[in-house]
Amino acid sequence: MKRIHILMSLCALLYVTGCSTKAEEKKEEEIKFLVTSPLQKDTLATKDYVCQVHSIQHIEVRALERGYLQKIFVDEGQYVKKGQLMFQIMPVLYNAELQKSQAEANYVGIELQNTKRLADSNIVSKNELALASAKFDKANADVTLAKTHLQFTEIRAPFSGIMDHFQVRLGSLLDEGDLLTTLSDNSQMWVYFNVPEAEYLDYKTHHDDNMKHVNLVMANNELFEHPGEVQTIEADFNNETGNIAFRATFPNPKALLRHGETGSVRMTVPLKNALIIPQKATFEVLEKKYVYVVDKNNVVRSREIGIAAEMPHIFVVQSGLTKGDRILLEGLRQVKENEKIRVNYVQPASVISNLSLYAE
C-alpha cells in the first residue's frame, strides 16, 4: 500500500508540472514582438568635424631695432587699440644719429646756396651745382632714415587686438628681430576642419545654404551662440589622410573664442534615400552596432550594421540593412539568436513619427 501511495503522489506531481509547463509555453506563444523596417527617405543629417580655432589676425610682435627695452606700456592679456604704444626701446643713440644727420643736412644746404650764387655769376660750372644739389638730397635722405630708425624704437599695435604673454622683460637687451609678444585680433575667428574626400564631393555636388552655414561645438560641449559660414576650401588634399581643409568664419563679438582653441564644427548634410532606423532597435557589442533581423520564418538573427549619421532617437544606416529587411523593434533582451518568435509588424513611418510610443 505504501508503494502504491508513493506512485500515485509522483503521478500527481508530474501531472501538475506538465500542466504548468504547458501553460507557460502557451503564455510564451501568445507574446508578440513588434518589428518594423528601415524607413527610406531624403533627410538632413548633422556631422561633427574636429576643428582648430584661429584668430582672423595673429602675429608676432618683434623688435625692429637693437637696444635696451626701456619701457613697457601694456600688460599681458590686455586689449590694445590700433596705433597704441606698447614698447619703447632706449632711443638715445638714435636721437644722436638724427641730430648728426640734421646737422650735416644743414651744412650741405648752406653749401648748396653758396654754389647757386656762384653758378648764377658764372663762377662755377653747372656740373658743380648739380653735384652740390645731389649732396643736399643725400643729406636729407640720411635725415629721413635716421627719423625712421628713431620711430622704430617705439613699437605700436598694427591693429586692435589682445596681447599674449611677454617674451622679454624690462631692461632686456634686444637684437633686431627679437620676439616681444604676440597679438591677436579676435573680432572674427577662422575655424579650420578637415573633410574626407567623399564628403567634400557631396558638399560640392549638393551645395546649398544648409551646408554653407555651420555651428561650433566648444570644448565644454556647449554650442557657440553665433553660427558661422564656410567661406574657403583649400586647394589640395592631404595625401596621407585623404582630407581637405575647410575654413569657416565665426563672429566673436564677446571675445569668448581665443586663438588656439579646439572644438567641433557641426555641419548639416543632405542625405538622399537614406535608411533610417530607431536607435532603440540597436544594441552594441565591442563598440559595434547590431540589430536583430527577423526572416520570413520569423527567426531572429543578429546582424552588424554601419552607421552613417546619428540624430536624436534615430540612426542613418550606411551598411548591413536593406529597405525590405524586418528588424526587431522591442524586446531585444528577451530573444535569443535563431529563436522563432511571433511578430506584429508596424509601418516604418509610424514608428519614426511615434518613437516615444514604442519604449520598452
Residue-wise pLDDT for 139-159, tens only, equals 889 889 988 888 888 899 999
**Quick one: cell of 339?**
529563436
Query: Parallel, antiparallel, or unpaired for β 179-196 and 154-156?
Result: unpaired
Q: Which residue has the higher pLDDT, 288 or 12?
A: 288
pLDDT in tens, 49-103: 999 999 999 999 999 889 899 999 999 999 999 999 999 998 888 888 888 888 9
pLDDT in tens, 96-129: 888 888 898 898 888 888 888 887 778 778 888 8
User: pLDDT band at residue 220, thresholds of 50, 70 and 90?
Assistant: very high
pLDDT in tens, 193-219: 999 888 888 788 766 666 688 999 999
CA 129 from centroid of its chain's CA atoms: 67
- Nearest-angstrom CA–CA distance, 219 and 2: 81
For residue 341, is pLDDT > 50?
Answer: yes
pLDDT at residue 23, rounded to an integer: 46
- Nearest-angstrom CA–CA distance, 122 and 199: 84
Strands (E) across the chain are located at 32-36, 39-62, 67-72, 79-80, 85-89, 154-156, 161-163, 173-174, 179-196, 213-218, 228-233, 243-251, 262-278, 282-285, 288-294, 300-311, 314-319, 327-328, 342-345
pLDDT in tens, 8-48: 555 555 554 555 555 445 444 568 888 899 998 888 778 88
Q: Does the reported pTM lie above 0.75? A: no
Phi-psi category of 216—alpha, beta or left, where left has phi over 0 and alpha has psi -120 to 50?
Answer: beta
